[in-house]
Amino acid sequence: MDIQDQLHDQLSRRNFLGQASAGLGTIALASLLNPTNLFGAAGPGENPAVGKPHFPPKVKRVIYLFQSGAPSQLELFDYKPKLEAMWGQDLPASVRNGQRLTGMSAGQSRFPLAASKYKFAQYGPSRMWISELLPHTASIASDLTFVRSLHTEAINHDPAVTFFQTGSQQAGRPSLGSWVSYGLGSDNQNLPSFVVLLSKGRDGDQPLYAKLWSNGFLPSVHQGVVFRSGPDPVYYLNNPPGIDKSSRRRMLDYLGKLHQEQFKHVLDPEINSRMAQYEMAYRMQTSVPETLDISKEPDYIFDMYGPDSRKPGTFAANCLLARKLVEKDVKFVQLYHQGWDQHGNLPNDIKIQAKSVDQPSAALIMDLKQRGLLDDTLVIWGGEFGRGAYSQGKLTRDNYGRDHHPRAFSVWMAGAGVKKGLVYGETDDFGYNVIKEPVHVHDFQATILHLLGVDHEKLTFKSQGRRYRLTDVHGNVVKPLLA
């Protein structure tokens, strides 16, 4: 073959590969060339020690119920009777202490304190405070671990969610799920190790972007795969018209030979990643429909998760799917639920939003527990920051709003590796500042990795001349949370 023919062959193949990868390039999977090694040979920048935990893990898999928009801890978990005693009075300057506000409330002439409209009661052996908005969550209080002292630097939604999910306020870093996939691989060769489920609350809420489940500079096999409701759960997964399963198999076999030949000359690990993505897509044609089929679930399961569990794409339906995914040993399931950005009309909106998540969140814990899966699965529930103690806009007894508040907020965890019934951390009488046992976002991320058997300081990837990690150069494991 002369030079012109070789060039023509390379260009034709490049065009073909580019077109073929248009829809499959985001599918995460294990290495095709060596199925026993979930990562294959370490490429440039990769840590050759990845693929196994650094020490015995307490957690095999994670379900992260991320509440996008920032739920108000003052209406849900952090009971502050002082706000009722000082209702309508200005937030003391000594409490705020010059901390910055968003542009949405910085221009207010007053900052009147707003007590929650809703009642609280104590539950479980630790007598943890939980709002009347969450009766189902209250019923599983003895299984929950509360962190009431989380804090972050980001004060607006996009950088705050990005920070929680990637360890950086700027886009481009790998997500938490991608780091877990990179560090630990997959326990199921027919499903991705990192799956993303999306559900929506009220209209007009903060948008979500693919950067939140991006692989960043990690190999593309570690990017999160979005499973959608409907007949096409993964885009471009099904064969196009005129292509049957055997034809696709022959195409993949020939394509694999071309990729291996190309890899010998280029040594680009993304060549293997791309081929592995095609192979995973082929296997997922069978595994995904089977996994996402909830038609065979008994009625008592739907009753447990609530009426919305029969409606594809709802938070309840996605909680049920999350259980089915971890049953199939998917390592990391990220469920994003929108609808919590409540700057005004908060009492009414948070009541609706809480009702949509309360029963299915509790049902997920009970369902995992009855199947023995809670013993090695960690469930996380929380948003990107909290809400402030003063009213944004006009304050009345029945209506008020709350602005963003990064200085103190709450999350809960349940399952493997954490102490049941524990309340960790404390805020001041206004729920404004952490006064005991602060937990930074990087500390929280380091703790999650630790539970998975990963040392957050050792899980690194070299890119652009330096080694990166999820927690950057920060973070300490919060050992009192560990069982």
pLDDT in tens, 194-233: 999 999 876 667 789 999 999 999 988 899 999 877 666 6
Alpha-carbon gap, residue 130 to 267, rounded angstroms: 56
At residue 254, the pLDDT reads: 58
423 versus 266: the higher-pLDDT residue is 423
Spatial distance between the Cα atoms of 123 and 387, rounded to a whole number of angstroms: 23
- Quick: pLDDT tens for 162-193: 999 999 999 999 999 999 999 998 888 888 99
- Over residues 372-391, the mean pLDDT reads 98
Average pLDDT taken over every residue of the chain:
86
Q: Is the pLDDT of residue 3 over 60?
A: no
Domain locations in the chain? Answer: 45-234+288-481
> pTM for this one?
0.84
Q: What's the pLDDT tens digit per position in 74-112? A: 999 999 999 999 999 999 999 999 999 999 999 999 999
- Looking at residue 274, what is its pLDDT? 62
pLDDT of residue 180: 97
Q: Above 80 in pLDDT, residue 250?
A: no
On whether the CB atoms of residues 84 and 400 are closer than 8 A, the answer is no
Predicted local distance difference test score (pLDDT) of residue 359:
98
Per-residue pLDDT at 138: 98
Please report the pLDDT score of residue 23 as a whole number: 39
User: What pLDDT does 395 receive?
Assistant: 96
pLDDT bin (cut points 50, 70, 90) of residue 406 is very high
Q: Is the pLDDT of residue 51 over 80?
A: no
**Of all residues in the chain, what percent carry a pLDDT higher than 70?**
77
Banded model confidence at residue 40, pLDDT cuts 50, 70, 90: very low
* Residue 124 pLDDT class (50, 70, 90 cuts): confident
**The predicted structure's pLDDT at residue 29:** 36
pLDDT at residue 4 in the model: 47
Q: How confident is the model at residue 266 (pLDDT cuts 50, 70, 90)?
A: low
Average of pLDDT values for 325-347? 95
Domain 45-234+288-481 has CATH 3.40.720: yes
Q: What is the pLDDT of residue 126?
A: 86
